[in-house]
Amino acid sequence: MLLRYLDLVQIDPVGWVSLLVVTVTGVVSAVTVHEAAHAWSALQLGDRTAALLGRVTLNPRAHLDPAGSVLFLVMGLGWGKPTPVNPANFKGNRETGMALVSFAGPVSNLLAAFVYAVPIRLGIFEWHQPFRYLPFSGGGLADAVGDVLAYAILFNVFLAVFNLLPLPPLDGFKVVLGILPRE
């Protein structure tokens, strides 16, 4: 992703750093919310595995995988630390529980995107289309906050939609396994 803008380093290094800052902020927010939601939902269903490892938190250090984070920034696809879940600890049906835990990640990303969009929709901050203009070029604090919110919205929606694809090891695959009949 940021490789596409590498020529910007020589042309406008400050612009490239601003792009890096909003991209990192957006990716970190999306991955953190996503993985924390998996951990929280597993805990609600009776599995304390992630909780015992300190993963029911919005602290990004608990959820970011170094290699996955770098690849996310460089190529646009990466990953966070997978949240450990033991379906044997769930109250009730294990397959349904696993589907709910898997679904919690993408749903949390969509909820986060909605929350980030509210101040823009209310006109408190302006919408600046991500990757169309250099972030922080408006000059004011309100413009900078609008840029950060726009990138956070983008990456949260992207992570939700991508993870709902019914392909292993994505969340969508586990959701489909939990709702379709075994046959």
- Measured CA to CA, the distance from residue 144 to residue 133 in angstroms comes to 12
Q: How many CB atoms lie within 10 A of CB 147?
A: 27
List % helix, strand, coil for the chain (3-state, nearest 5): 65, 0, 35
Q: What percent of the chain stands above pLDDT 90?
A: 87
Q: Does residue 35 surpass a pLDDT of 90?
A: yes
> pTM for the whole thing?
0.95
Mean pLDDT of 2-20: 91
Confidence (pLDDT) at 115: 98
pLDDT surpassing 90 at residue 3:
no
C-alpha of 115 from chain center? 14
Indicate if the pLDDT at residue 41 is higher than 90: yes
Q: Retrieve residue 95's tokens.
A: 């397959």
Mean pLDDT of 115-134: 94
Question: Residue length, the chain?
Answer: 183
State the alpha helices, DSSP H only, in 45-140: 49-52, 66-75, 94-121
Q: pLDDT-based confidence at 68, cuts 50/70/90? A: very high
> For residue 76, what pLDDT is reported?
85
> How confident is the model over 122-132, as a mean pLDDT?
93
In this structure, of 5-19, 27-41, 158-172, the range with the lowest mean pLDDT score is 5-19
CA dihedral for 31, 140, 121, 119, sign (positive or negative): positive
The predicted pLDDT at position 159 comes to 97
> Smallest Cα–Cα separation from 116: which of 57, 35, 30, 40?
30
- Distances in Å between the Cα of 129 and the Cα atoms of 4, 43, 54 are 17, 37, 35
Q: CB neighbours of 67 closer than 8 A, spacing ≥ 6? A: 78
The per-residue pLDDT for 73 is 87
Report the pLDDT value the prediction gives residue 137, as an integer from 0 to 100: 87
Positions marked active-site: 35
**Amino acid 4: pLDDT:** 86
Averaged confidence pLDDT in the chain: 95
